[in-house]
Amino acid sequence: MEEKKLKHKAKKEHVDLAIKESLKARETWARLGRNERLDIFSKAADLLADKWRYKLNAATILGQSKNMYQAEIDSACELIDFLRFNVQYVVDMDYVQPYSPEGILNKNYYRPLEGFVYAITPFNFTAIGGNLATAPAMLGNTVVWKPSYHAVYSNYLIMELLREAGLPEGVINFIPGEPQMITNTVLNHPDFAGVHYTGSTKVFKNIFKQIGNNIDIYKTYPRIVGETGGKDFIFAHKSANLNALAVAIIRGAFEFAGQKCSAASRAYVPKSVWGELKNILLEKMKDVKTGSPELPETLVNAVIHKESFDRCKSYIDLAKSSKDCEILIGGKCDDSIGYFVEPTIVLTTNPHHRLMVEEIFGPIITIYVYEDDKFEETLKLCDSSTQYGLTGAFFSNDRKAIVFADQYLENAAGNYYINDKPTGAVVGQQPFGGARASGTNDKAGSPLNLWRWVSCRTVKENYGPPTEVLYPYMLE
């Protein structure tokens, strides 16, 4: 029985074969006309909008414990948007051309990278799995795709969808299995040309180091594109709409059990409004239901696995034992029927507490109440107290305060929201990604990301080449 369970896990020889098939497929895929390639992904988007929509949503609901609404905006809407927008972005790339003076034609050709691309995808967004694998492929690259072990089924269905849309064999090679073995095999290959990654900061840093150590074996400098962790904030000014602020805290922190790189994990609230906001939060939390993702009333689901459950529980235990923390609501953990962590709001008097600076990736948010006359000082604190720079939100109805905060928080978040929660970036509207320890900020869902998967070749054609060696001024 145990052997049967593990049959889907790739061995090293399977990874070697995937790389071999990827390089073989590149010979024909890279030479296929651009429109012929893109038609495949356009068809995949149409199939997903109709025939495949509910099957992929169901796989995401049951396999990754997303409620119905979260699954629909992820595995259906967002993945469809990634496919359709990226197709148009690729078409638009051809319009970026150099100046051609009289008698000369200059042309940029956007070649695929020389080698193969390695896509490493997370469990928390089915759409990210599809995007990280397909975006490089649209440009003529071939891909070795390692899905998260906790999203294998939904990601496998994406492969089946792409096959039905006409994707040739070997263009995207789906290799679920032990992450370290697969990554070591890929990064030690001379034809490795780039990595498209979403996951933890620690793992990405190790990949970065490994690529650096291997730099002499590669045929070309690999492209390194990664979106990693976050300690995302909500910062409130005394003029904020408190009902809107409370909803942003609850939705931003607890939707999909806080398992979003963009999830609100820390908040800064002025003392003058905290009492009223606290009452609103506690009242609105009465509507928050935790349970099975199959039930339409569920807002908060179980976390993905025991490791996540244990990590969340350790932070809740830390809050309970810290003299400068108070649990306002939540704080219970139950793994008897699933890995359920109660949505938890912690109040702290220490803005440097571990709960305010470390990524948790669960349904826990910590609030620090600041003195109103320390608004500027607290903005600086928000910017400097963590290593991350992914998402953040600022709530205020005072335009002067909004402009002032924007100056201090310029580098604190790659996706910055004014009077909205820090989650829910939409493809084509809010290109997603952050800097600092949150990644390379190559903005998934925008042309910026696609430019990373081409190697430009510039060609000059001279309609009237010179026929004399000496320049005219020399003859004078």
Nearest to 167 by CA among 192, 134, 120: 134
- 316 DSSP 8-state letter: H
Helix, coil or strand: residue 115 = coil
Residue 281, pLDDT score: 98
Give the span between the Cα atoms of 438 and 198, in whole angstroms: 10
- Here the tokens at position 393 are 């939100």
Domain 232-418 top-level CATH class: alpha beta
Amino acid identity, residue 218?
Y
**Residues 236, 271 contacting (CB under 8 angstroms):** no
Beta-bridge mates of residue 300: 290
Q: List phi, psi (to 5°) of 456.
A: -75, 135
Where does CATH 3.40.309.10 sit in the chain?
A: 232-418
Identify the active-site residue in 72, 77, 78, 227.
227
Residue 174 near residue 203 (C-beta atoms within 8 A): no
Q: Let me know how long the chain is.
A: 476
Evaluate whether 157 touches 130 at the Cβ level (below 8 Å).
no
Asked if 436 contacts 387 with a C-beta cutoff of 8 angstroms, the reply is: yes
pLDDT at 476: 76
Q: Amino acid identity, residue 420?
A: D
* Three-state DSSP class for residue 10: strand
- Element holding 134 (H helix, E strand): helix 126-138
Within 10 A of 227 (CB to CB), how many other CB atoms are there? 28
pLDDT of amino acid 5: 55
The encoded tokens of residue 188 equal 């030690």
Task: Map tokens 């149409």 to a residue.
Answer: 46
Active-site residue among 261, 312, 325, 333?
Answer: 261
Spatial separation of the C-alpha atoms in residues 369 and 440, rounded to whole Å: 32
- Helix or strand run (H / E) with residue 117: strand 116-120
Rg of the chain in Å (alpha carbons): 25
pLDDT at 2: 42
Class of residue 231 by CB neighbours under 10 A (exposed 0-12, middle 13-18, buried 19+): buried
E strand intervals along 281-407: 325-329, 333-334, 340-341, 344-348, 364-370, 388-389, 391-395
For residue 364, the number of C-alpha atoms closer than 13 Å in the C-beta half-sphere is 34
Between CA 78 and CA 390 the distance in angstroms is 19
Look at phi and psi of residue 198 and say left if phi exceeds 0, alpha if psi is from -120 to 50, else beta: beta
* Domain boundaries for CATH 3.40.605.10 within the chain: 2-228+439-461
CATH number of 2-228+439-461: 3.40.605.10
Q: What is the rounded distance in angstroms from the CA atom of residue 24 to the CA atom of residue 9?
A: 23
227 is catalytic: yes
For the chain, 476 residues long, give each residue's pLDDT as a single digit of tens.
344 455 679 999 999 999 999 999 999 999 999 999 999 999 999 999 999 999 999 999 999 999 999 999 999 999 999 999 999 999 999 999 999 999 999 999 999 999 999 999 999 999 999 999 999 999 999 999 999 999 999 999 999 999 999 999 999 999 999 999 999 999 999 999 999 999 999 999 999 999 999 999 999 999 999 999 999 999 999 999 999 999 999 999 999 999 999 999 999 999 999 999 999 999 999 999 999 999 999 999 999 999 999 999 999 999 999 999 999 999 999 999 999 999 999 999 999 999 999 999 999 999 999 999 999 999 999 999 999 999 999 999 999 999 999 999 999 999 999 999 999 999 999 999 999 999 999 999 999 999 999 999 999 999 999 999 999 899 87
Task: For residue 117, give the amino acid letter.
Answer: V
Q: How far is CA 67 from the centre of its chain?
A: 19
Q: Report yes or no: 197 and 226 within 8 Å, Cβ to Cβ.
A: yes
Cross-strand bridge partners of residue 368? 268, 348
Structure tokens at 163: 């096959």
Q: Does residue 377 contact residue 385 with C-beta atoms inside 8 Å?
A: no
Task: Report in angstroms the alpha-carbon separations of 465 from 104, 387, 412.
Answer: 9, 56, 53
Angle 358-361-363 (CA atoms, 0-180°, nearest 5)?
110
Secondary structure of residue 96 in the 3-state scheme:
coil
Strands (E), 186-285: 192-198, 223-227, 232-236, 264-270
Contact (Cβ atoms closer than 8 angstroms) between residue 352 and residue 361: no
CA dihedral 282, 287, 291, 292 (to 10 degrees): -150
